Structures are given as structure tokens and as C-alpha cells.
Structure 1
Amino acid sequence: MSNNYKCEVIPTRNNEGEVNFTAGRKRSSKKFQDAEAEVRPASYERKKGTCTKNTVHYFCEFCDNTSIHGFKFLGERKRYVLEKVWWALIILVAFFMSSSLIRKSYFKWQSSPIIVTFATRETPIWEIPFPAITICPEVNAHPKVFNYSDVYLKYRMKQKTTEEEDTYFRLYSTICNEHLEFVDQNATKLMTNDEFVMFLGSFADLQMEQCSWLGDSLSCERSFTNILTSEGWCRTFNMLHPDEVYVNAGELSENHTRRAQEWSLEEGYPAGVGLNTYPRRTMLTGAKAGLQLDLFVDDSNLDYLCSEISGFKVTLHHPAEIPDMDTHFRIPMDEAAVVAIKPSMIKTSEEIRSYSIYDRLCYLPGERQLSNYKIYTQQNCMVECLANYTLHVCGCAGFYMISQEDVTHMCGAGSRKCLEEARGKIVPMHNC
């Protein structure tokens, strides 16, 4: 049997404390291997015994070496049992509490993975459009065309009325104060095409003068355009061209000349462009840095049976949205009103496109198309949802909800109650 030799460098120490290194040969024998095994730590030796003993041994080693607070006291052999039980309870409580917090955080991330945070930089007001302003007069009917109070008094006194007066009374009962006891509801569920044309042509004009923008005079007639709302014909300022908002604008586009210029809904205003943009925007704050105008009404045009309050209804909205007159504020007669606007804007990052619509709870441009409107916003979606819901429930929709080309499903005075009930039910059901 041949001998195996192994070359080693052996350190030696002399009497003066210096360390010398000498090389030599040493037989690699079983005795030498046994000597190496003797210097190994005891932790390297595999303990023989039952599975339970091994588990206890490894657990004690884990407790001795882990950095988790509390486990060290569980593994020490000299600790009292009561002390170990106490630390075990503390560790279990901490485990369950952290597990509960992790579970809550996970479900919160599942339900709302998108986080809304405050921007680190304020957005200048010249980077966002000035809001659109829609104004509706409380006076609806032109007195030279139709006097609502006179016809109502004739009904009360059981006097004879003409067919034209009956038709106008039914039409204006859709927007005036409720006097439906004098309306044949079974015969007026729908509005005919001829009645709709009569209705649109009988509204009183909104009278305004001395309009100014950023301190400069402005043509009121050219700056304000007609728009059909739940209050009838109203006038709006700084709204996009109807052809850019509606799928079928109809008569709304006849007196509107300005289209979006140097602006888009997704990108806003490009850097470096001047103030000659549309929608309009302002650079400063204060009363003279916005819109100023005078509104007035002839006393002879007031009809307190149709509307108990004289003045104007005003609502502010995004230039790409349909105005919701239910969110209006009033401007009374013979008073000056100053309105301060505090805009709210949410910007989205490109990373959220990777999330599903269900997770991020919002639609990005181009992801959802509406039937009646070219631009998707939550307000436009709500108006369309309400129109579809009332069509389903009442068999018709408000004259201001649907395209003017579709006059076969416009509600008359007999459907007013159904329209009001549908509006109250659609709010918790919408998915806009």
C-alpha cells in the first residue's frame, strides 16, 4: 500500500517571540484525518437521536443565533418555564398583529393600487384653461310669445283657452314650477317634433352688456354662444365648439365660431404659446384677471308662477364638459356678485396604463367612447347614463339629454315625475 504525502507550511515560534515558517512533508494518514476531525466545532457534528430531539436542538441553535428579539430567551436552557411562556406569548401576539397589518395592506393594495399624492410643484394657472361659464335666466318664456301666469290663471278660473296656449303650457310645465294638475299627463308623455320647434323658439333671450376679459372690452354676442340645458336655452362662455363635444351638434353649432386652438385635453397648452389660445386662459388672479359682465332683465318679462325667484342661474364647468345646472349658484337682481375659482387638477403617470381599468378606477383618453359625446369625461358620461336610464324606465329622455335629431323620444310634461325619480336613482348605479 503506497503512502500519500502532503506538503504543509508549519508556523513555529522561537524564544524571541518571532514567528518562523518551515515547510515539510507529512503523511496523510487516517490518524491525521482523525486529528482534523477533533478540532471541528461541536455544531458541525450531526447529533444522533430522535426527530424530536433534533428539532429541539436546531430550534435552540436558531434562537441562540437569530437577531429577532425575544427568540434568544426561548432557547436558553437556564430560563424559567414561566419566563419562556411569557416570551412565547409576546412573540405570538406580535406575529398575529403584523400578519393582520400585512393582510390589511395587501387588501388595500388590491382594492386601490393607485395612490393619489400632492404634487411637489404647484401648477401655474396659465397651464390650465379658464372654466366655461353657463348662464341661464330665471325668465324662461318670452312674454310676447307665451305668458305662463295668464294661462295658469285661466285654468284656475276655468276659463276657455286656445289650443296654442294649451300646447305652450304643457311644454313649459317641463321646466316651470309644478302645476301638473292642469296637464293631461296621459296625452303628453312624449313631445312631438313641431312642439319641440315651438318650444325652442319661445325662450326669452339672455340680456347682457359691457363684457370684458382680462380688462379688455369683449363682444358679448360673439363671446357667448347658445346651449340647451335643463333650464332651456342658456348662454355659455369659453366652452369648446359643439362639433368638438357633441356627436350631432345640430343647431348648437350655428352661432359658435371658435374651435380649440393651441390646446388639447391630454396635453394642455404647449410651452411657449401666447394668450391667443382657445379655450381662453388667464395669467393673473383677481377680479379684473377674468370675466366681467352686466346682466339685466326687463321687469315686464318676470313670471313668478313659472319661477318664484328672479335673477340668473350660473354654473362653472370644464370647457369640454356639458354643464349640469343642478350645481348652479344664483345671482339675484340689483346685486353684484364676485366669484372666486379654486381649480382642482389630477395628473396621471404613464405607469398606470399597465393597470386594468377595474384596478385604477378611471378611464384614460381613448379607452371609452360615448354615444352622444366625442370627449369622455365623468360629467359627460353621467349625462349619457341618465339619458339611457330614463329611456329605459320612462320610455323617453329630457329634451336637453339627447341629440336634437332624435326628437321621437323627448319627454313631455306627463313624464316629468318619472324623470325626477330616475335622476335620483341613477346616482348610486352609474359606472362612469
Structure 2
Amino acid sequence: MERVFWLAVCSVSVYGCYCVCKATMEAFQQRSVSFVPETTYLGWNTGFPAVTVCEKYNRHKIWELAERTYPNADTSTLSNLAMYLGDMIYYKGKCNNCNKHCSGSTKCPGDILQLAKKVFTNCSSLLGNCYWNSVQFDCCENFYPELTPYGICYTINSLQTTKKNVAYHKTVDLISNKLTGPGRLEFNTFEDSELHVHSPEDAFHFGHQVEPDLESKDRGNSYTIYFRIMEIANDVSLAGLGVSQRGCLLPFENPLTTYKFYSSSACITECQAMAQLKLCGCVHQYTQVKGPGRTCDLEGILCIHRYSEALYEITATGLPELNVTCNCITPSCSEPEYTFITTVPVELNNNAWSHYTLQMLSLPSVRYRRNVVRSKLDLVVSIGGAVGLFLGASLISAVELIMYLCVRRTPRNA
């Protein structure tokens, strides 16, 4: 009877220990992180969004390039070349005129990137009068050229662009706090341009959504754009958890090969490049890709054009219709959220330039924070407590058991 009693007690204890340890492991795997608002805002340094300026289509520049490229061509040939160059240099993912205007006697040039550099305005001629919180800075020391799917643009405050050596260049730090007040960025553009405001980690891809009020701005106007920012802060011990536990990727966990920092948009951009390689065996000259891969000739561009609608539809999970899989569903741990309040346009007396002002409406008084509520140390303590409570075991008990099995039971030589 005594044996039955102790067998029942031990069985219940083992089962209870198993249930508690199982619940502890499930909580560690699924509920290790809390996502809560934080309001201790007095000491915060708040970042600023990245701003990308892309030059709009300019038919006069395209026609001049066609005349310089083929000085002896007749008007009909130049017209065909201009249509082709317009589609290729100001690329939008499609080339409707390639097959039509590059046939017969018309031989269209293939080195589009080099031709684009002759068309797109350089930084000093595109941007000027840059101010951060009413303090002037050198535009071209801070706006860096970036190759996007739509051509050569200029970006400030992007993590994806190649930074100049700060020891020899005066770069501006776009940080706002209680000493500086809400951030305010101002600059002029001297060509018709498109303005894109986005996260510093973002990269452009076909189908990338931007604020509709910030596109297609012509010279002769002043635009003031008001926005709010919601940042995300992360616990320093977040790196000790797995990606599945925290549900996001930290900056140093970058699985991409083309971009220096991970974001969902950068991942989709790289996935679209891999899809171009898979479907057509080449990539457009504006597409950034590392490793093996060739730049498309006219035949390859026509192939990409045939799949252009599908390439636009590629999402974070890919596109099953093309058998394209993208592992981009995991967001970045630090990517902020921007809310654009309004854009106030004012007509200028001079149409030689446009003026842009990006104004943070106010310093944020709340941000989200990822806190680690169950670390690996908490897991060890919880499991150790459960084993001690139900089984009366400890680390010393385990060592004693090993000693008993391996040492004391070994017969001694007489």
C-alpha cells in the first residue's frame, strides 16, 4: 500500500512538473514580448523621415539627347528614338514603345544608364537653398544619388544610400528633441520633380505606395507638408530572443544582399529583381542586384514588359501565379510610422523653382516600445522552480545522481 501511495504521489508530481514546464515554454515562445505605449518623452531624440527627389519626364531633354546620339538621323527616326528613350530613361516598369519604335532601320541604344546620366540633372542644378531648422546646409553634401527603379534620384536621411566620409564632409543630423523643437526641412528644386517621403530604411520598388499629395509637383509653387511621427523603441535584451518570438528583424539581422538595412520594401525590391532574373534571365539597368546576373538588352526589356503587370503585383509573400516566393512578411523592428496631416500649396511669383517645407507638427509625446517580459534567464528560473517544487530536485541533486551512478557504483579494486 505504501508503494502505491508513493507511486501515485510521484506520478502526480511528474505530471504537474510537465504541465508547468510546458506552459512556461509556450509562454516563452509566444508571449515573450509586450508592445506598449511609452510616454517618458522629455529625453527622446526623434528621427526624421527620408526625403527622395526624382526628376520628372522632360521631353525637351529627351529630344536633345536623341539629336546628340544620332546627329544625322531624319525627323522620323529621331521621333522614334525619343519615344524609346523617354520610356527607358523615365522608366515606370513598362516600355510600351520599345517594340514599335526599335524595329526596322531604327537601332536603339542599349546603354540606358549612361544615357540617363546625361539627361538627369546633377545635384547642384536640381537642389538648392537647403535649411534644417532655419540653419542652411550644403544640399549636395547631404542629398545622395540613389538608383531607383524609376531612375537616378537624390535622397536625404536614407540608410540605404552610400554615405560620404563624414570626416571630410559636413553632414546634417536630422534629429529633433526638446532643445531643437520639431524638425523642419526646407529646400528648392529647379526642375519639375516628384517628392517621396518615406522611412529611412525604405527602398523603392514597382508598385511602391507613396502619399498621393506629394507627387507630380511642378515648378512655381511652394508646398508645406505637415506630418506626425510614431517611433518604435526596443528593449536592449530583445536581441536575445528569436525572430519568431519578437516578430520582427533587428538592423543587424539583414538577410538581403543588395541593401545594407532590412525593411519590407527593400526585401520586395530585391525579390522583384530576382523575379526578373528568373522570368527573363536579366534585370533592367535601374535594378540593383548583386551576384550573377546580366543587364537586359532590348529583348530582355520586352520580356520584362510582358510581365510588368505581374511584377507590380508582387507582395511580401510573392506571387503564386509566377511561382515567385518572397520572404518579406517580417517587418523591421525599428521602422517608424508617419501620418501626413495636410499639404499646403502656395503659388509663387517665379516659376523657375519650387519650394518644399517638411514640418513635423509637434514633438511626439508617445511612442511604442517592445519590452522583453520573458527572457532566457526567466525561462531557466521558471523551469528550475517547477522542478524544485514538484520533484524536490536541484542542480546539486543532479550532480549527486551523476556521482552515484558513475562513481559510487563503480567497484573498487581490492
TM range (shorter): 0.5 to 0.7
Matched residue SS, 1:426: coil
Seen in structure 2, the aligned counterparts of structure 1 residues 131 and 216 have a Cα distance that, compared at 3 Å, is same
Is the contact made by 1:241 and 1:257 (CA closer than 8 Å) also made in structure 2? no
Which digits, 9 at most, give the CA deviation of each residue in 1:336-369, with x for residues without a partner?
2111232222222245445432233212243343
Residue equivalent to 1:203: 120
1:281 aligned to which of 167, 172, 175: 175
TM-score by length of 1: 0.52
Distance across 2 between alignment mates of 1:421 and 1:340: 35
* Residue 171, structure 1, aligned to residue 57, structure 2: no
Distance across 1 between alignment mates of 2:175 and 2:100: 47
* Residue 370, structure 1, aligned to residue 264, structure 2: no
User: Greater share of strand residues, 1 or 2?
Assistant: 2
Structure 1 residue 215, shift from structure 2 partner = 0.9
Seen in structure 2, the aligned counterparts of structure 1 residues 111 and 184 have a Cα distance that, compared at 3 Å, is farther
* Residue 319, structure 1, aligned to residue 195, structure 2: no
* Residue 336, structure 1, aligned to residue 232, structure 2: no
Distance across 1 between alignment mates of 2:195 and 2:147: 14
Which aligned pairs between 1:371-390 and structure 2 lie closer than 5 A?
371-390=257-276
Is the contact made by 2:316 and 2:327 (CA closer than 8 Å) also made in structure 1? no
Residue equivalent to 1:133: 51
Which digits, 9 at most, give the CA deviation of each residue in 1:175-230, with x for residues without a partner?
3986437537999xxx9873432233322446233222221222333332221212
Structure 1 residue 392, shift from structure 2 partner = 1.9
178-187 or 333-342: bigger deviation: 178-187
Seen in structure 2, the aligned counterparts of structure 1 residues 326 and 146 have a Cα distance that, compared at 3 Å, is farther
Residue equivalent to 1:419: 308
Is the contact made by 1:171 and 1:412 (CA closer than 8 Å) also made in structure 2? no
Q: Which amino acid aligns with 2:53?
A: I
Seen in structure 2, the aligned counterparts of structure 1 residues 319 and 385 have a Cα distance that, compared at 3 Å, is same
Q: Which amino acid aligns with 2:144?
A: T
Which aligned pairs between 1:154-233 and structure 2 lie closer than 5 A?
159-161=76-78, 165=82, 168=85, 171-172=88-89, 174-175=91-92, 179-180=96-97, 183=100, 194-205=111-122, 207-233=126-152
Distance across 1 between alignment mates of 2:79 and 2:222: 41
Larger Rg: 1
Residue equivalent to 1:296: 190
Seen in structure 2, the aligned counterparts of structure 1 residues 145 and 257 have a Cα distance that, compared at 3 Å, is farther
Distance across 2 between alignment mates of 1:115 and 1:368: 23
Q: Which amino acid aligns with 1:214?
A: N
2:40 aligned to which of 121, 126, 134: 121
Residue equivalent to 2:327: 431
Seen in structure 2, the aligned counterparts of structure 1 residues 145 and 345 have a Cα distance that, compared at 3 Å, is same
Distance across 1 between alignment mates of 2:151 and 2:130: 23
* CA RMSD, Structure 1 to Structure 2 (Å): 4.5
Structure 1 residue 134, shift from structure 2 partner = 0.7
Distance across 2 between alignment mates of 1:371 and 1:260: 28
Residue equivalent to 2:375: none
Q: Which has the higher contact order (CA 8 A, sep 6+)?
A: 2
Seen in structure 2, the aligned counterparts of structure 1 residues 320 and 428 have a Cα distance that, compared at 3 Å, is closer
Residue equivalent to 1:301: none
Matched residue SS, 2:174: coil
Is the contact made by 1:131 and 1:319 (CA closer than 8 Å) also made in structure 2? yes
Matched residue SS, 1:336: strand
Q: Which amino acid aligns with 1:372?
A: T
Which aligned pairs between 1:44-59 and structure 2 lie closer than 5 A?
none
Distance across 2 between alignment mates of 1:326 and 1:259: 36
Seen in structure 2, the aligned counterparts of structure 1 residues 194 and 390 have a Cα distance that, compared at 3 Å, is closer
Matched residue SS, 2:195: strand
Structure 1 residue 118, shift from structure 2 partner = 0.9
Matched residue SS, 1:363: coil
**Percentage of identical aligned residues:** 17
Distance across 2 between alignment mates of 1:416 and 1:322: 22
Distance across 1 between alignment mates of 2:313 and 2:185: 34
Residue equivalent to 1:60: none
Is the contact made by 1:112 and 1:359 (CA closer than 8 Å) also made in structure 2? yes
TM-score by length of 2: 0.53
Structure 1 residue 111, shift from structure 2 partner = 5.8
Distance across 2 between alignment mates of 1:214 and 1:115: 36
Is the contact made by 2:143 and 2:154 (CA closer than 8 Å) also made in structure 1? yes
Distance across 1 between alignment mates of 2:293 and 2:117: 13
Seen in structure 2, the aligned counterparts of structure 1 residues 258 and 320 have a Cα distance that, compared at 3 Å, is farther
Which digits, 9 at most, give the CA deviation of each residue in 1:396-422, with x for residues without a partner?
334333148977234525523413412
Is the contact made by 1:211 and 1:219 (CA closer than 8 Å) also made in structure 2? yes
Is the contact made by 2:128 and 2:189 (CA closer than 8 Å) also made in structure 1? yes
Distance across 2 between alignment mates of 1:353 and 1:238: 25
Structure 1 residue 290, shift from structure 2 partner = 1.7
Residue equivalent to 2:367: none
Q: Which amino acid aligns with 1:222?
A: E
